[in-house]
Amino acid sequence: MAVTTLTTRPRLRRPSPMALRLFVLAAACFTFVTTETQPVALLVPMAHGLHVSESSVGLLMTAYAGVAALSAIPLTVLAARVPRRRLVIATVATLVVSQLALGLAPDYATALGARLVGALAHGVYWSVLAQIIASLVTRERVGRATAAVFAGNSLALVAGTPLVSALGALVGWRAAVDVMGACALAVVIAMAFVIPDVPAARGAADGRRAVLVRAARHRGVLIICAITVLLALGQFVAFTYLAPLVRAHTGLTGTGVSAVLLAYGAAGVVSVGLVGRIADRHPRRALMMCCGGIVAGVALIAGVPHGTLVMIAATLAWGAGFTALPICLQSAVVRVAPDIPDTASALYVVAFQVGIGAGALAGAGLLGAHDLSAIPDLALGLFIAGSVLAAVARNTFAADRVRLPGGRRPPGGDAATRPRTPRARAIARVRAPQTDPDQEYARACRVNSSA
């Protein structure tokens, strides 16, 4: 008698609503970063199609960064009372319009105008993103959630820019721009379905000018912005000209240089996951790990003028450190200014954009003077200055250990000691004082920051 054995296939688990929300936000980050760097990926075909020089196409990226920096704060303050869900969908929808206009642009002036429209959305998106992430997860998981969303940035550098470049070569630069516009439209539709309603920050009720003044005078926010300017300045002094640096140090050309650049991005993808795991419980340690990787990598490039293996090792350390750095800085902004996260994040966005523009200009000046060896030296000095400032600012990047009035801890305890099991969390909620914990926590942050 034959015996038959029935086997059951393992059922695929549906992704949780939280995972879908973070994935959609990561897709939006991927789209914004990829479209921002479009002029780099499509430099030659855009120059030919618009009948301008390659340097003029490069200005499309410089102008984009400048407008994003100038508009981030005023637009974010003006939209302080707009629900975050509606606002973030509007920013990606604006990017769709920008891409459509760029794909149809008959001349350079129209292309520049289309890019500037996208830049207006860019600054607002990155300003409100931190608040949306923080509203989706508990306070002790903000760092890990930020890492998941910012993985879209890393994938944009590793895969997005090369894919756009390949599309431009295969089907033309206009079609490549339209493809990214279609991706942005898909993100808008997905956001409409999965992103929940997120109210405006509580600080918005204080008035637009008052919110801006509070953010501009917040000691922790100013420290983070100063560190951001130094590190972003050092990054884009050197990273903009990483390809000629690789050629000068290794003698590699063509696919060899592309492989080193790909290794930079791949190391960044890995480091985002690793840093995201410790950014919540040990934010200062995560930040110093990133700074250490950056300084070590650039120091190798500055100190060892020739050597393929040394250059590859330096690129891996540099890429791993800087790609994960925004996780530490962005989550620190939300941690030190929880009641005004969008306006504080707008200041952070401005600091980053200032670093991008000034760094690229400084690097161009050095390269124009035919002194390529001075680029890593200047970048190293800026990286060391930013790292020293980060190391000194212990309280700004300390773990979440705010004390409420009277010396009490926030409901649920510090980030490293909060109850982890469902039963323990239920007991903590019962024992917690019957007040609004988020409101009391934000009030304590203001008291501590002004002390």
Give per-residue pLDDT as tens, 272-298. Answer: 888 888 888 889 999 999 999 999 999
Q: Which two tokens stand for residue 254?
A: 């063509």
Residue 413 has pLDDT above 50, yes or no: no
User: Could you read off the pLDDT of 376-402 as tens digits, one per residue?
Assistant: 999 999 999 999 999 999 888 887 654
Q: Is residue 350's pLDDT more than 60?
A: yes
Q: Which domains are delineated in the chain?
A: 16-200 (1.20.1250.20), 204-401+426-451 (1.20.1250.20)
pLDDT-based confidence at residue 436 (cuts at 50, 70, 90): very low
Question: Stretch 242-251: mean pLDDT, rounded?
Answer: 83
The per-residue pLDDT for 179 is 94
> Model confidence over 97-147: pLDDT tens digits?
999 999 999 999 999 999 999 999 998 998 888 888 888 888 778 778 888
pLDDT at 9: 56
Calculate mean pLDDT across residues 220-243: 89
CB 389 within 8 A of CB 230: yes
**More confident position, 449 or 83:** 83
Longest dimension (CA), the chain: 88
First-last CA distance in the chain: 84
Full-model pTM: 0.75
Nearest-angstrom CA–CA distance, 90 and 313: 42
Alpha-carbon distances of 408 from 414, 436, 440, rounded to whole Å: 11, 15, 11
Cα–Cα distances in angstroms (integers) from residue 128 to residues 79, 89, 136, 337, 446, in the given order: 10, 11, 13, 13, 20
Is the sign of the CA dihedral 407, 411, 412, 416 positive or negative?
negative
Cα gap 130→240, rounded to integer Å: 27
Residue owning tokens 């200062």: 284
